[in-house]
Amino acid sequence: MALRCVYTDLDGTLLGKGASLFRDGEGEFTLLPARALEACHRAGVEVVLKSGRRRAQVMEDARLMGQSSYIFEVGSGLVIDGETTWLTGAFLPSEGRTVHQLIAETGAPEMLLRDYAGRLEHHSPWHLDREVSHLFRGSVEVGEVNARLEGLRLVDNGEIGAGTHAYHLVPAESSKAAAVERHMRARAYPPEHCIAVGDSREDLEVARCVGEFFLVANADPSLHGEATVTEGSHGDGFYEAVVGSLMGR
Ligand SMILES: [Mg+2]
């Protein structure tokens, strides 16, 4: 397989402790993620970040890595060579109103905080200054919540502490998988020339659009049966997935 593109999540995948590119899951210094990025650069393989983070954050992270495409806010937005495409269905920013404001106007964020009080709260301080998703933390049954939502969905973006998960409330159409598919089409990358790496259920959905999907070892064990799991955690697992794929393993 001639690898053309790697789609990777940031937190819990490419980044280690403290969201550092140069730390493994335990906080030890590691160059493996950087080595993997170097290997991609030498082989002419594009690396596309796909994250739940805000646009400004993912833009800077992509720039640090010398990349011109990135996916932000759980696939709500895709940037290719400076051009932004919103993948938010009917929730399109207009007349100075952001998707975040449009979602607020549905009343859904208020309803969630009220009906799941004690189980869901704002993921402070990261819930501020957002363009798209309303960000929460806590512990809820996502399927149950989503059955009550219309035109929106709550995405479980993984565990951030013992039993506590981060959740993004996004337009129902937004997903990392849809954004990856859109990027592949724009670049004319065949699925078998692409891989993806991640640690969450939302990442795992990308498996259906790419040639091979890798879960890093620190991913929730309940997901392990559904994809190739690397031996290494975080960025070390990313290195394994990338280098193995480049060697055509
Ligand atoms: Mg993650």
Q: Per-residue pLDDT tens for 79-120?
A: 999 999 999 999 999 888 999 999 999 999 999 999 999 999
Phi, psi of 94 (to 5 degrees): -155, 155
Ligand 1 center–CA 192 separation, angstroms:
23
Ligand 1 center–CA 190 separation, angstroms:
25
Ligand 1 center–CA 213 separation, angstroms:
14
Ligand 1 center–CA 200 separation, angstroms:
6
Which of helix, strand or coil describes residue 115?
A: helix
pLDDT exceeds cutoff 70 at 188 = yes
Element (H, E) at 40: helix 32-43
**Domain span(s) for CATH 3.40.50.1000 in the chain:** 5-87+175-246
Question: Is the distance from CB of 239 to CB of 231 less than 8 angstroms?
Answer: no
What is the predicted pLDDT for the residue at 249? 60
Cβ partners under 8 Å of residue 220, min gap 6: 158, 159, 199, 200, 201
Ligand 1 center–CA 11 separation, angstroms:
4
Residues in the 5 Å CB sphere of ion ligand 1: 9, 11-12, 158, 199-200
List, for residues 142-186, the tens digit of each pLDDT value: 999 999 999 999 999 888 888 899 999 999 999 999 999 999 999
Element (H, E) at 145: helix 142-148
pLDDT exceeds cutoff 70 at 1 = no
What is the predicted pLDDT for the residue at 138? 97
- The second-level CATH assignment, the architecture, of 5-87+175-246 is 3-Layer(aba) Sandwich (3.40)
Ligand 1 center–CA 95 separation, angstroms:
33
Which of helix, strand or coil describes residue 240?
A: helix
d(CA 113, CA 81): 38
Ligand 1 center–CA 231 separation, angstroms:
17
List, for residues 52-71, the tens digit of each pLDDT value: 999 999 999 999 999 999 99
